Amino acid sequence: MQSVLIVIHILIVIALVAIVLLQRSEGGALGTGSTSNFMTGRGQANALSRATAILAAMFFTTSLLMSILAGWSRAPHSILEKTAAPAAPAAPQPVNPGNIMDQLKQLQGQANVPAAPAAPSPAPAAPAAPAQKP
């Protein structure tokens, strides 16, 4: 029902815009240079004014109907009786390795944890003897 009403409303809006654009300008220099005889005369002006009034009434009617239909789908409630729902603790999010701030936080977290004693490093190798020249 709502989709049909929306389509009708859009058609009314398009027709209303077209009718308003067809009307002759009463003031300013917008209509003074026109030599077109398409919509001249008092009879056409009356017809355009009447069509504008009818389309405007249909526009307001469809707008009110759409707002009434939208209101029917909502249940009545009081804003005074609403209580704030307790917020659930957020689950820890996985750390994105591409973000530099997350990498720094990981490094800082690892630095705060006491590390196990590391194994002693191997002794450096002895320097090689220079080769003898014949």
**2-22 and 42-72 helices cross at what angle (nearest 10)?**
160
pLDDT in tens, 17-70: 999 998 877 665 555 555 555 555 556 678 888 999 999 999 999 999 999 988
Average pLDDT in the chain: 75
Most confident of 6-20, 23-37, 68-82: 6-20
User: pTM for the complete prediction?
Assistant: 0.46
Q: Would you state the pLDDT for residue 76?
A: 75
Q: Would you state the pLDDT for residue 66?
A: 92
Q: Are 23 and 48 in contact (CB under 8 A)?
A: yes
Q: Which two tokens stand for residue 131?
A: 């080769």
Please give the full DSSP string across 110-123, using - where no structure is assigned: HHHSPPPPPPPPPP
Q: Determine phi and psi for 52, rounding to 5 degrees.
A: -65, -45
- Give the Cβ contact number of residue 12 at 10 Å: 20
Q: Would you state the pLDDT for residue 91?
A: 61
Strand ranges, E, within 1-134: none
Q: What is the mean pLDDT of residues 82-96?
A: 60
> 12: which residues sit within 8 A by CB, 6+ positions away?
55, 58, 59, 62
Sequence spans of domains, the chain: 1-23+43-70
Whole-angstrom distance, CA of residue 118 vs CA of residue 112 = 16
Q: Of 5-9, 46-50, 123-127, which range is least confident? A: 123-127
